[in-house]
Amino acid sequence: MNEQSKNEERDEGSSDGARDTVPNDSAEPKLTHLSDRGEAHMVDVGAKDITVRRARARARVRMKPETARLVQSGTAPKGDVLAAARIAGIMAAKRTPELIPLCHGIALTRVTVELTPVADGVDIECTTEARDRTGVEMEAMVGASLAALTLYDMLKAVDRAITYDVALLEKSGGKTGDYSRKI
Q: What's the CA gap between 169 and 120, in Å, rounded?
A: 21
* Sign of the C-alpha dihedral computed for residues 29, 33, 39 and 44 taken in this order: positive
Give catalytic residues, as residue numbers: 153
What order of strands is seen across the sheet that includes strand 121-132?
A: 9-13, 19-23, 179-182, 163-172, 51-62, 121-132, 108-118
Is 85:113 a contact under the CB 8 Å cutoff? yes
Using CA atoms, how far residue 110 sits from 51, 54, 68, in Å, is 15, 9, 29
